[in-house]
A and B are shown apart, each in its own frame.
Chain A
Amino acid sequence: MRPGAWPRSDFMSAAVSPIAGMPSTAFLGEPAEGSRPTVTAACAHCGSPVPTGQMYCCAGCASARDIIEGMGLGRYYAQRLLDAGSRALRPEPAERWDLARHIVAKPDGTKELTLAVDGLQCGACVWLIESVLAKEPAVTAGRVNMTTRRLRLGWNGTNDDADRLVGRIETLGYRLVPFDVPALAAARDRTGRMLMRSLAVAGFAAGNTMLISVGIWAGQGHVIDPIGPATMALLHWVSALIAMPAIAYAGRPFFASALAALRQRRTNMDVPVSLGVWLVTGLSLMETIQGRDHTYFDSAVTLLFFLLVGRVLDHRARGQARATAEQLLALRSADVAVLQPDGSIRRAGQEQVAEGDMVLVTSGERIGVDGILASGTAMLDTSLVTGESVPVEATAGTVVYAGTLNLGATLTIRTTATGGATLLAECVRLIEAAESRRGRFVVLADRVAQRYAPAVHLCALLTFLWWFFAMGAPAEQALLTASAVLIITCPCALALAVPAVQVIATSRLFRGGMLLKSPTALERLADVDTVVFDKTGTLTDPLPGLCGCPDPAALREAASIAVSSRHPLARALVSAAGSVVPAEGVVEHPGQGLAAGDVRLGSRAFCGVAEGMADGPEIWLCRPGQAPVRFRFDERPRLDAAEIVGRLRNMGLTVKLISGDRTEQVQRIADQLGIDDWQAGCNPVDKVAAIEALAKQGRKVLMVGDGINDSPALAAASVSASPATAADVSQTVADLVFQGTKLEPILIALRTARRAKSVMRQNLALSIGYNIAMVPLAAAGLVTPWLAAAAMSSSSLMVMVNSLRLNRDAKQ
């Protein structure tokens, strides 16, 4: 964590720098404008203000610059200036990971490790990390992927070398966390490549058949002299030979999805698409064999090409959102310090801790297991677990749950439950139950497809019957005309109508720091008529706020000391003080406080304040010869909470507050924000019941929550959102994860979803209208291949252009 953080443009690195599940720098708020007179210089490494005459703000920065200059990589400081918003990172003491269990031994004897990198800001960071690794003789591969923010490290040597290499990067200020690529991500990668390959093949075939088709159309005698029948046949056969393998290859995503839907006795948009493509191809092949002119190979391939463009973009936008969400989770997951019987400490993954193991939790760390407090007293922040906002005092024998934050001294916990027996596992069971009750949401496009497909097929049948019986045409001609109806109604624009909008909306939200994880979430968001908020950490700031400021000078002095600590209250103090110059010679006494010479900052006992008892989170500042100053903290609503609640109401939404906290706390916040419909003291089951009661009334509920106790309710609501500071399980369940200190993303997401849905409707109306206009032409037997191609392309383009309006509206 970089206390006294600078405002940064890059939302990833600004919002993601959490240490072991702590709220990130972004939540400290931006430093106040204007610096103090003593500040005239900037640290030669990280650029934060330092007193005159000093080069560095801390020893970490000095050694980082030493290392960089020593390796001859001093150009880094010049290169990073290419990106105005970026600064070097201030190195922090990093927690140690048990890297060994993430290392993969390769068959050629090298070792390999994938790490998530936190702190990447611009290309200079990538260059620096890679250059440092390239100077290590043992390293065989060290490449940073800037898109996914991952470092793949390969080296010759032992597992112990990993610690040294990782430590080398960490001294530069980056944070590296082992990242096991989950099976799901690998499968997503494969799908993405498959789509890209299909797109390439479809593009190749579409271009070439279209080129040949132009020759065919021109050669039919309307424009130039007709070409001979043998040449014509050759052109048709070449088209067929290009198009048919391409359709078989590039159409697989659609055929597979259509088959899967049919097997479940449902239909989706891919069913009419697949059917149309096959019919068109089959008919064209027949025409080619019989030496006639009506081939539609170009239409079939172009249709696939357009649809694949939509699929690829959609896959990319959502893949990126998911990868970012995974990154957030990976950076927060932490190892647990297990106390061995011989007194030594072993770092292990949470899943490796056995029942009865003693676990050490340092001050400011999140507890990783369920257990019983073995000794001493503790100050615990259980807000993520129970929603209780006031930290509780716990004594030996108290039951504590994973997810609780330790605000006091280092604790020892005896593990009582692992795996399926934890509170978390209980919540996961509730989530599964809630999800199974929620029922499947049928997307707009599929609802349309369910009516569209039978209607089109009926039209084709009627056309055939009309020509065969009423007009007395030969069966072959009647069949050809009926097929023309199917071709002209082939739902190209219809199939593009929704994905095109989804891609634009999803990537727009992504740029704004909102990760839309589910493909159907956009449509579900648009239907929302009730918003249910959790209180702690959702409506209120995840970091406690300072209650009043007794003395600005004392606050500044306290903050200059507090900068050296990662303790949540110290960080809250720093954020309240604004711009801070770090004090020198600060010594941290874990669990008690900080000392800089004679000045002490910390708990009541540490500062020698004898009388009274803490009635909430507090820090004392004790200076020689002066009365101790007390800084009290309390939870406060997010900056824009009241405004957003009001604006949501103006949009016609009902706003509710359901919290696990005590009545007086909930009432206080509800009154502040003007929410009159609130419930307090709810456990996870109550919350789910409340959401389901709303659903029974026919309401579409958006649940916004962050705690483990909210996760079942998130799953039960028709759509859900979580801040990026939320518990892992909540973020996993939520459809939308938003970053930053404000609630505004909720409003933006709702607005975007509503706009998107109305554009989707317009698109559907446009494309259906187009088809309706063309059906009479087709039924009358007037459609020729070039007309079909023109109609198909122009309707697709129209839908695309209409979808792009969404982007333009957003910019205004």
Chain B
Amino acid sequence: MTVILFLLIISLTIAAGGLWFFMWSLRSGQYDDMDGAANRILFDDPNDAPARKKIPARAVR
């Protein structure tokens, strides 16, 4: 039954990864402006080159 050990460890690691990812998204303010995020995707910027000045996502609380 050592296979169950592997399974447990793998599944828990994946789940812990998901938890960490959620915590990171929460910390970086991605849940602060749900309405804005829903609208922003509608407006693409033709000058959206990678070199564009970045507006930090955490700018508004």
Contacts and interface: CB of A to CB of B under 8 A. Distances in A.
The answer to whether A and B assemble together is yes
A806 interface: no
A193 to B, nearest CB: 7
Nearest to B43: A127
A76 to B, nearest CB: 9
A151 to B, nearest CB: 8
A150 B29 CA distance: 15
Given A126-B36, A204-B18, A207-B15, A143 B60 contact: yes
Interface string A94-127: 0000000000000000000000000000111011
Most chain-B CB neighbours within 10 Å: which of A150, A200, A207, A211?
A200
Contacts of A49: none
Contacts, number: 85
Q: For the complex, would chain A's binding face be called helix, strand, loop or mixed by DSSP majority? A: helix
Contacts of A234: 4-5
A152 interface: yes
A24 B40 CA distance: 28
Nearest to B26: A196
Contacts of B32: 145, 147-148
B4 A231 contact: yes
Contacts of B4: 231, 234
A154 interface: yes
A437 to B, nearest CB: 38
Contacts of B42: 79, 82, 123
B1 to A, nearest CB: 5
Contacts of A211: 11
Contacts of B55: 130, 134, 141-143
Given A122-B39, A134-B53, A144 B60 contact: yes
A208 interface: yes
A122 B35 CA distance: 9
Q: Considering residues B5, B38, B59, which has the most beta carbons from chain A within 10 angstroms of its beta carbon?
A: B59
B60 A145 contact: yes
Contact of B26 (A143, A200, A231): A200
A204 B60 contact: no
Contact of B40 (A123, A147, A193, A231): A123
B16 interface: yes
B61 to A, nearest CB: 7
Interface string A177-208: 00001000000010001001100110010011
A507 to B, nearest CB: 13
A78 to B, nearest CB: 10
Q: For A122, A145, A151, A242, which residue has the most chain B Cβ atoms within 10 angstroms? A: A145
A146 B43 contact: no
Chain B interface main SS type: helix
A196 B40 contact: no
A228 interface: yes
B17 to A, nearest CB: 10
Contact of B19 (A124, A193, A204): A204
A394 interface: no
A231 B1 contact: yes
A238 interface: yes
A197 B26 CA distance: 8
Interface string B14-58: 011011001100100001111110111011000000000101100
Contact of A146 (B5, B18, B31, B35): B35
A231 B22 CA distance: 32
Contacts of A151: 60
Contacts of A228: 1
Interface in A147-163: 147-148, 150-152, 154
A200 B19 contact: yes
Contact of A154 (B1, B26, B34, B59): B59
Contacts of B19: 200-201, 204
A195 to B, nearest CB: 11
Contacts of A227: 1
Nearest to A151: B60
A771 to B, nearest CB: 32
Nearest to A196: B26
B26 A146 contact: no
B12 A208 contact: yes
A532 to B, nearest CB: 37
B27 to A, nearest CB: 8
A126 B59 CA distance: 14
A228 B4 CA distance: 12
A147 B23 CA distance: 21
Contact of A204 (B5, B15, B35): B15
A638 to B, nearest CB: 31
Interface in A625-642: none
B26 to A, nearest CB: 6
Given A130-B55, A207-B15, A208-B12, A197 B23 contact: yes
B23 to A, nearest CB: 6
A106 to B, nearest CB: 12
Given A79-B42, A141-B59, A238-B8, A200 B33 contact: no
A145 B23 CA distance: 21
A228 B1 CA distance: 9
Contact of B23 (A144, A200, A242): A200
Nearest to B8: A238
A211 B35 CA distance: 35
A196 B60 CA distance: 18
Given A189-B61, A197-B23, A148 B16 contact: no
Contacts of B5: 234
A193 B22 CA distance: 12
5 contacts: A141-B56, A141-B59, A147-B32, A152-B59, A211-B11
Given A152-B60, A208-B12, 15 more contacts: A123-B39, A141-B55, A143-B59, A144-B60, A145-B33, A146-B39, A148-B32, A154-B59, A196-B26, A200-B22, A201-B19, A208-B15, A230-B1, A234-B4, A234-B5
The 5 closest A-B pairs by CB, nearest first: A123-B39, A146-B36, A143-B59, A145-B60, A146-B35
Interface of B: 1, 4-5, 8, 11-12, 15-16, 18-19, 22-23, 26, 31-36, 38-40, 42-43, 53, 55-56, 59-61
Interface of A: 79, 82, 122-124, 126-127, 130, 134, 141-148, 150-152, 154, 181, 189, 193, 196-197, 200-201, 204, 207-208, 211-212, 227-228, 230-231, 234, 238, 242
